[in-house]
Amino acid sequence: MKGSSGLFSVKMRASCSRRHISGAEKIVPPHAVPHTVSQLAERALNHPKGVPDFINIKIENPGAIVRLEALPVVTERTSTPDEGLARAASLLKEAGVLRMDEIMALFRETYSMRGAMLLDADTLERLEPDRERGVRATCMDDSDSILKGTAGGKNHYAEAIVLATKVANAPGIVGEICVSDDPDYVTGYVATRNIGYRRITVIKEKGDPAGGRIFLYRGRREDVASTIRFLEKTPVVVEGVPVLGAVAEERRMDGLAAEMSVIDSAGLRRGIRVLDSPAGPEALAGCRRLAVLSSNDYLDLARDPRVTAAASGASAKWGAGSGGSRLTTGTQPPHVALERHLASFKGTDDAVLFATGYMANVGTIQALVKKGDAIVSDELNHASIIDGCRLSGADVIVYRHGDMDDLARKLSFCREHRRRLAVSDAVFSMDGDMLDLPRFLDVCSANDAFSMIDEAHSTGVAGATGRGLVEHFGCGHPDILLGTLSKALGSAGGFVCCSGEIADFLRNRARSFIFSTSPCPAAAAAADAALTVLENEPWRVEKLRENVGFFTRELARRGISAKSPSAIVPIPVGDERRAMAAASALEESGFLVPAIRYPAVPMGAARLRVALMSSHTRETLSSAAEAIARALGNLV
């Protein structure tokens, strides 16, 4: 489970003369603990129920954490408490709880409880060991809470959906009903795994301080204890809690400033660096010379004289900008020539050129699938794939990284969908590992799914002559073979290689293709020239591979184990601040190696990400390995 280790639970409870005032909990990475403590203290001190005389803040590392997807949210509009309660009862009845009238009649007994009543849904027997306290669902948080930073007050909605998601996923729980005890909060909910989270806009009278919760249980008596243990002890992080429009009542710029300060305190602020030199294995930053171990210009083609000459020649002949989108006035001979060249290089019928790799992903996915279709997507896929999935409106099912059995299982769940699309990075951008393309293709064809791979980091890198995964494995083609011109091809733009039928379809349906100005002629001509260089000089690919082997051996000699089938060599660090410190130590010693942090990788999985080029010298690589080992404290 990604990013599941090293998180801390921070719990706050505040009381006055032993009367409970407020309580809350966050699950955050270590560096966010201090900020979280101050947020929770602030919340305790500003509670409408009064000023506490005792605040207890507990910080602990709970070990393994369960990740759950938030229940889907539906709002049920009601106008009176009676209507709200009746709606709650009928929704739970619909979900299979039959004795709802009797259950609703028991509700007032929850009013004095701190926790929830645990009720057998069929016999109506009360199962809480302590009837005054009830059962408390604790040890849970919203996975994004440190970035949402609900400073100060309580966000009823977000906290309730986290709680409801945990409760609905507890073994034996078949439903929940909740009415807030805040006099002014008249919205309540019922929730089950099947009907999701149903907000009931009016479920009680304004000003009424009576509220409570009932958890409905169905199962064996001997299993009650383990249900309670799950509710009270198992740490849960809930992903994808939907944002509610009404929650955003902050002042325009205050919100941005608050968000920035949360980003700062989590060690996640990013800045922009200017390099005063072309892409290449060395860069000039101001007057400092740095060895670059982080460029995607894997074959050192961005500054190759043949490539730059093609770019300036095309600019002179065809103009700086193309002047239109591909379907209007933005297609010129360099665009057409490049598409032909890409198709022949990758061995497909046709190719479609996009303005960027990001747009190629977003546009292709959005064109191929829509509502009623399903996408099964690797959990570590690039952000542009994720954004395409979101934009498409299709159901998105994420499979475990690189796990073809999980892919097969999840595709088989989607037989009822109209179309299925399986999508994976060919080489994963943050981990540098490679998709098992032959198995991926088998699983796709067994499930009649479109197969799509993103060869951003494998084009020019994988396969003897850099043609990518199909060449590397000697297997067939996926339906969609997507790539970018901006990495090994040293230019800018994105492309899709595919059958003529799919290419035509994309030219008619991919919105990022239709509504973007086409790449400038210089970019197209440069990529075309780079392809020619690559075809004539496959030794570059071989040299890159040798460099990766040499560099990982140099790391291994210094106690750092790193392997990579690509040009990307990740060096795990973990903590975000430690990764940042290592990166700046490296820069001090003249090496540009970035620290990669959340959200590019999961929280707590920060790393140094080395990317190698065919033109790195052995001296550079071994001194870089030495500097990395020193920055990580492996050497003194």
Within 31-70, the residues that bind ligand WAQ by CB under 6 A are none
159 binds Mg ion, rule: CB under 5 A: no
Q: Which amino acid is at 2?
A: K
Q: How far is the CB of 459 from Mg ion (least distance, A)?
A: 56
109 binds Mg ion, rule: CB under 5 A: no
Cα distance between residue 73 and residue 55, in whole Å: 33
Q: How far is the CB of 262 from ligand WAQ (least distance, A)?
A: 23
Q: If you count them, how many residues does the chain have?
A: 636
537 binds Mg ion, rule: CB under 5 A: no
- Residues 576 and 565 sit within 8 Å (Cβ to Cβ): no
Closest CA to 294 of 282, 277, 307: 282
Cα distance between residue 410 and residue 414, in whole Å: 7
Question: In a 3-state reduction of DSSP, which class is residue 371?
Answer: coil
First to last CA, the chain: 34
Nearest 10 degrees: Cα torsion 523, 528, 533, 534: 100
Q: How far is CA 449 from CA 380, 474, 480, in A?
A: 20, 21, 11
- Residues 100 and 89 sit within 8 Å (Cβ to Cβ): yes
User: Catalytic residue among 31, 154, 457, 477, which?
Assistant: 457
The nearer residue to ligand WAQ, 246 or 253, going by C-beta atoms, is: 246
Using CB under 6 A, which of 84, 211, 235, 490 touches ligand WAQ? Answer: 211
Q: How far is the CB of 571 from ligand WAQ (least distance, A)?
A: 41
Cα distance between residue 327 and residue 514, in whole Å: 6
Q: How far is the CB of 55 from ligand WAQ (least distance, A)?
A: 18
- Residues 155 and 247 sit within 8 Å (Cβ to Cβ): yes
421 C-beta neighbours (distance < 10 Å), count: 28
Using CB under 6 A, which of 8, 14, 39, 189 touches ligand WAQ? Answer: 189
Q: How far is the CB of 234 from ligand WAQ (least distance, A)?
A: 14
- Residues 399 and 422 sit within 8 Å (Cβ to Cβ): no
Label residues 95-130 b or e (16+ Cβ within 10 Å = b). Answer: bebebbeebbeebeebeebebbbbbbbeeeeebbee
116 binds ligand WAQ, rule: CB under 6 A: yes
Using CB under 6 A, which of 12, 14, 160, 374 touches ligand WAQ? Answer: 160
Selection from ligand WAQ, Mg ion, none that 115 binds (CB < 5 to 8 A by kind) is: ligand WAQ
84 binds ligand WAQ, rule: CB under 6 A: no
Tell me the β-bridge partners of 361: none
180 binds ligand WAQ, rule: CB under 6 A: yes
The nearer residue to ligand WAQ, 181 or 554, going by C-beta atoms, is: 181
Using CB under 5 A, which of 182, 387, 471, 546 touches Mg ion? Answer: 182
Q: How far is the CB of 181 from Mg ion (least distance, A)?
A: 4
The nearer residue to ligand WAQ, 180 or 295, going by C-beta atoms, is: 180
Residue nearest to Mg ion (CB): 181
Whether the bond into 599 is cis, omega within 30 of 0 = yes
208 binds Mg ion, rule: CB under 5 A: no
The DSSP code for 486 is S
User: Catalytic residue among 31, 35, 487, 543, which?
Assistant: 487
The nearer residue to ligand WAQ, 97 or 137, going by C-beta atoms, is: 137
13 binds ligand WAQ, rule: CB under 6 A: no
Q: How far is CA 151 from CA 146, 215, 261, 335, in A?
A: 10, 29, 11, 51
212 binds ligand WAQ, rule: CB under 6 A: yes
CA angle, 341 then 345 then 350, to 5°: 60
181 binds Mg ion, rule: CB under 5 A: yes
Structure-block tokens of residue 251? 């002042």
Structure-block tokens of residue 512? 């990022």
The nearer residue to Mg ion, 181 or 528, going by C-beta atoms, is: 181
187 binds ligand WAQ, rule: CB under 6 A: yes
Selection from ligand WAQ, Mg ion, none that 367 binds (CB < 5 to 8 A by kind) is: none
436 binds Mg ion, rule: CB under 5 A: no
Structure-block tokens of residue 130? 């302590």
Q: How far is the CB of 281 from ligand WAQ (least distance, A)?
A: 55
419 C-beta neighbours (distance < 10 Å), count: 16
* 457 a catalytic residue: yes
Within 136-155, the residues that bind ligand WAQ by CB under 6 A are 136-138
380 binds ligand WAQ, rule: CB under 6 A: no
Cα distance between residue 71 and residue 64, in whole Å: 22
Q: How far is the CB of 32 from ligand WAQ (least distance, A)?
A: 22
* 370 a catalytic residue: no
Within 38-67, the residues that bind Mg ion by CB under 5 A are none
**Which residues of this chain interact with Mg ion, rule CB under 5 A?**
181-182
**Which residues of this chain interact with ligand WAQ, rule CB under 6 A?**
110, 113, 115-116, 136-138, 156-157, 160, 163, 178, 180-182, 185, 187-189, 199, 211-213
Any idea which residues carry the catalytic annotation? 429, 457, 487
